[in-house]
Amino acid sequence: MKRAWMMLAVPVAVFTADRASKIWIDNNVSAFDTLTVIPGFFNIIHAENRGMAFSLLADSSEFLRKTVLVGLSGALTVLVGWMLWQALAAGNRLQQIALGLILGGAVGNLWDRVERGAVTDFLDFYAGSYHWATFNIADTGITSGAILLGIEMLINRKAAS
């Protein structure tokens, strides 16, 4: 049981870092500000994404956006939580960390969608005129967790063969 509580620290840490960073951005960076961190590569900006990844559904009606995005995000969050519970029971440490990262990020973005109808994005990476989509700490948790899940699957595949 102690291990289960320790593994819940991962999603709680991601969620807490995500919320704290978004609160800081909301309070300190206006929609027109750009804070240059590494010239020519990385800025902090304040963007509001009403859609999902890469602003999909951003131009849809508010009812459709909220229904689809909150419903889909909520269902996926429950699914990832269940998968984490199963990983805790199985004792698969790498899978637990991966799913914890995904769960923390999913809850962070779901919180924004329910509370404000949009997700705050602020990490802006670019090289010259090439920009990556602006993202946040929750997105980083989700992506890092997905990569770790892929690695875990490859490790298990090699071990099984």
112 is catalytic: no
Triad 18, 19, 21: Cα angle to 5°: 65
The total of other beta-carbon atoms located within 10 Å of residue 84's CB is: 23
The total of other beta-carbon atoms located within 10 Å of residue 73's CB is: 20
To the nearest 10 degrees (0 to 180), the angle between helices 93-116 and 137-160 is 150
Instruction: Specify the residue for token string 């807490």.
Output: 16
Q: Which entry of 18, 112, 124, 139 is annotated as an active-site residue?
A: 139
Q: Which entry of 18, 112, 121, 124 is annotated as an active-site residue?
A: 121
Instruction: Specify the residue for token string 């229904």.
Output: 67
The candidate with the shortest Cα–Cα distance to 49, out of 41, 57, 39, is: 57
The most distant pair of C-alpha atoms in the chain lies apart, rounded to whole Å, by 55
* pLDDT tens digits in sequence order for the chain, 161 residues long: 566 676 789 999 999 999 999 999 999 999 878 999 999 999 999 998 876 665 555 566 666 667 776 777 788 888 888 888 888 777 788 888 999 999 999 999 999 988 988 899 999 999 988 989 899 999 999 999 999 999 988 887 777 76
The candidate with the shortest Cα–Cα distance to 141, out of 85, 56, 80, is: 80
139 is catalytic: yes
